[in-house]
């Protein structure tokens, strides 16, 4: 390995294109995967921005924005479970938003309790904003959606489902992937939805348990007793469920995954060609080693060692590049989630790609014949 690294250093100009190809491939894979995770974190924002331990909704809810109304009477089932400290109502439903200057936009209402001990209140709201939302038909949206909803226009009045609403504040961190999230109280949400939310029905019941472990047990117990009537999920499970739905049921996930695969293929082809050319260029040196009695497998091992170090050096160059591009993406409002699983997976995949490229480069080693090259 050390001899392979020394050879790589002395012939660095010859191997530079291979290292750059590996770096490019690693950066593309990491950024595409990180962008994919960051993009679909948006779909579980309503779940991730509460302090609830349990979400109770209709049977087999695929995503948080696809819940169906359930009877409020289910509250007694949840409240009666040992280990449940608090249960509250939560209203979530699509609605039609009419802009002050005209035009419509689909939005998604999130109506929660605003009490001090509420678990459904979005954590991004201040106490003053919660108090403001207690006013009739008061709403809060993310600042990135103000222009989209026409709320920057002082003329006219915004409406939701034909009823006047008042913007009382904005927040950061609730940017939506599709329909804008609109925060309000449960009372306001019921009034705005009207017949869309049947009487004595809600979209979800949110509960706080004595511990996360107990929350999993309560979810399992409720599922075994009422699984045919309602769905029960821990917050972590419901958040992951929502992301997976958007990831595997939409074209966006497939498109980004395809782009990452394309980067891997391009990097592998360039790296394989570089290693093959570099090995072929050293054919006379390898022929001398073979004539001196060095086994062919030792030379092959050295080529694979060079491939390994090309992958390692490419990864080392890719890491700071990824961090820089992540910071740049953040400045324009894009979230690139470079969690350790993404970085580890990229590292393993890239080094395996480099070694496989080295295996293809071994063809030139097998073609070396000392008597032919030393004439």
pLDDT per position as a tens digit, 227-282:
889 999 999 999 999 988 887 776 766 776 777 677 667 766 776 676 666 666 66
pLDDT of residue 255: 73
Q: Which residue has the tokens 């679909």?
A: 40
Q: How far apart are CA 346 and CA 330, in angstroms?
A: 21
Same domain, 97 and 181: yes
146 lies in which domain range?
59-229
Residue whose structure tokens are 């990452």:
260
Give the pLDDT of residue 213: 92
Total H helices, total E strands in the chain = 13, 12
- Split at pLDDT 50, 70, 90, the class of 11 is low
Question: Is pLDDT larger for residue 197 or for residue 288?
Answer: 197
Q: Which of 44-48, 153-157, 233-237 has the lowest mean pLDDT?
A: 153-157
Number of structural domains (the chain) is: 2
What pairs with residue 93 in β-bridges?
Answer: 109
Residue 102 has pLDDT above 90, yes or no: no
Confidence of residue 140 (pLDDT cuts 50, 70, 90): very high
Phi-psi region of 102 (alpha: psi -120 to 50; beta: other; left: phi over 0): left
Query: Which of 32-36, 103-107, 128-132 is predicted with the least confidence, judged by mean pLDDT?
Result: 32-36
Q: Is residue 123 part of a domain?
A: yes
Q: Do 274 and 210 belong together in one domain?
A: no
| Domain annotation covers residue 243 | no
Mean pLDDT of 53-75: 93
Determine the length of the chain: 375
Please check whether residue 285 is in contact with residue 370, taking contact to mean a CB–CB distance below 8 angstroms: no
Look at 259 and 60; give whichever has higher pLDDT: 60
Residues 100 and 193 in one domain: yes
Q: Give the closest residue to 97 by CA, choosing from 137, 46, 41, 49.
A: 137
Q: Are 189 and 74 contained in the same domain?
A: yes
Residues 223 and 303 in one domain: no
b/e sequence 134-163, b meaning 16+ C-beta within 10 Å: eeebbbbbbebbeebbbbeeeeeebbbbeb
CA distances from 269 to 8, 93, 113, 258, 263 (A): 19, 49, 57, 17, 10
Nearest to 56 by CA among 201, 257, 247: 201
Is the domain of 210 the same as that of 338?
Answer: no
What's the average model confidence in pLDDT over 41-59? 92
Do 210 and 86 belong together in one domain? yes
Name the residue among 180, 175, 168, 163 with its Cα closest to residue 94. Answer: 180
Type and span of the H or E element at 170 = strand 166-171
Q: Are 172 and 316 in a shared domain? A: no
Average pLDDT for 61-69 = 92
Residue 118 counted as domain residue: yes
On the CB side of 2, CA atoms within 13 Å amount to: 0
Report pLDDT for 26.
83
pLDDT over threshold 80, residue 68:
yes
- Please report the pLDDT score of residue 231 as a whole number: 94
Measured distance CA(176)–CA(15) in Å, rounded: 45
Q: Tell me whether residue 270 is in a domain.
A: yes
**Assigned domain for 51 exists:** no
Taking residues 173-183, report their average pLDDT: 87
- Co-location of 188 and 254 in the same domain: no
User: Residue 93: which pLDDT band, with cuts at 50, 70 and 90?
Assistant: very high
- Region 8-35: mean pLDDT is 76
Q: Does some domain include residue 50? A: no
- The reply to whether 102 and 182 lie within a common domain is yes
Contacts of 237 (CB under 8 A, 6+ apart): 219
220 and 131, same structural domain?
yes
Q: Is residue 294 part of a domain?
A: yes
Q: Are residues 121 and 184 in the same domain?
A: yes
């Amino acid at each position: 390995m050390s001899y392979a690294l020394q050879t790589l250093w002395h012939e660095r100009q010859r191997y530079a294109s291979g290292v750059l190809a590996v770096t490019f491939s690693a950066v593309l894979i990491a950024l595409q995967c990180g962008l994919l995770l960051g993009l679909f974190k948006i779909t579980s924002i309503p779940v991730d921005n509460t302090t609830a331990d349990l979400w109770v909704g209709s049977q087999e809810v695929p995503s948080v924005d696809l819940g169906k109304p359930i009877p409020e009477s289910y509250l007694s089932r949840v409240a009666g479970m040992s280990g449940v400290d608090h249960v509250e109502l939560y209203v979530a439903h699509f609605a039609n938003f009419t802009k002050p200057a005209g035009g419509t936009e689909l939005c998604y209402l999130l109506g929660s309790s605003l009490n001090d001990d509420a678990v459904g209140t979005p954590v991004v709201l201040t106490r003053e904003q919660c108090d403001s939302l207690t006013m009739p038909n008061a709403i809060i949206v993310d600042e990135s959606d103000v222009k989209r909803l026409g709320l920057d226009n002082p003329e006219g009045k915004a409406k939701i489902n034909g009823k006047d609403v008042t913007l009382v504040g904005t927040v950061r961190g609730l940017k939506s992937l599709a329909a804008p999230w609109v925060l309000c109280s449960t009372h306001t949400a019921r009034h705005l939805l009207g017949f869309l939310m049947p009487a004595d029905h809600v979209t979800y019941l949110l509960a706080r348990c004595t511990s996360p472990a107990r929350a999993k047990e309560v979810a399992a117990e409720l599922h075994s007793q009422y699984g045919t009537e309602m769905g029960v999920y821990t917050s972590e499970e419901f958040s992951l469920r929502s992301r997976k739905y958007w990831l595997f049921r939409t074209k966006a996930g497939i498109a980004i995954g395809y782009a990452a695969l394309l980067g891997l293929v391009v990097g592998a082809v360039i790296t394989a060609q570089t290693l093959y050319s570099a090995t072929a260029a050293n054919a006379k040196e390898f022929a001398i080693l073979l004539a001196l009695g060095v086994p062919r497998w030792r030379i092959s091992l050295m080529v694979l060692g060079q491939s390994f170090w090309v992958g390692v050096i490419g990864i080392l160059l890719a890491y700071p590049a990824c961090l820089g591009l992540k910071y740049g993406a953040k400045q324009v409002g894009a979230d690139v989630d470079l969690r350790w699983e993404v970085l580890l997976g990229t590292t393993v995949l890239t080094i395996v790609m480099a070694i496989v490229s080295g295996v293809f480069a071994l063809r030139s080693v097998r073609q070396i014949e000392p008597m032919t090259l030393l004439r």
